[in-house]
Structure 1
Amino acid sequence: MVNIVLVSHSPKLVEGLEELLKQVVGQVSIVTAGGDEDGSIGTHFDKIQAAVEEAASGDDGALVFYDLGSAKMNAEMAIEVAESESVRLVSYPIVEGSYLAAVESSIGNSLDDILASLEKEFG
């Protein structure tokens, strides 16, 4: 299955979204990186890098969703450091996009199929 990474300035946002996604599609790997290193609002490269590397360890690839500016920048750097061609940063709504991706992953759709569905829905 395709793994999902959630990157946000808010730890509570990604914790809640992870809870929602796991209720719907429990078997899909959801990895989060929310907030600064002390849990406050912000982003932290090391947290994001660890999440990307964990998700990249799967065989079917991973999609990284983010909320705002520095989350995107840090996720881009983390993907570059991970040197995994199967991890993709996507610019779709973090809630609706990750929900769609998680459902599609749970039914066995490939990374490319999920990307096509996201583009069709939000592109």
Structure 2
Amino acid sequence: MFNEKIEIVDFKKEAKRRERKEKFERKVNDAKNWAYNNKELIMFFGPTLIGVITASVKAVNKHVKLNKEKNLKDLYCYDRSLGHYWQLRRELTNSEWVEIDKRKNNGERLADILDELKVLK
């Protein structure tokens, strides 16, 4: 008696889900029919379109990779003594880099310097 499972179905959500599924299936069928009726167009423009898409994807991937490298360079500071990256709140200014270099040459730890400058995240 207590082990019975009661299933509550939200009919509005279920109806919307069915409508979305039917709409998606209609769009897929329309695309299939268009492709079947326009084989010549696809054969003519297909290779060019694939080349353009490939070039676009490569360009976007290159841009994303460069941005990641730039963020790594600007928003992290590598501590050679610990072999550790320190995450920064913001990009350091040139004057802050000069101060860090001077203080590191005086023997201070990078973590302490960054903490005093209040740039650690």
TM-score (norm 2): 0.29
Higher relative contact order (CA 8 A, sep 6+): 1
TM-score (norm 1): 0.29
If you compute each CA radius of gyration, which structure gives the higher value, 1 or 2? 2
Q: Which has the higher helix share?
A: 2
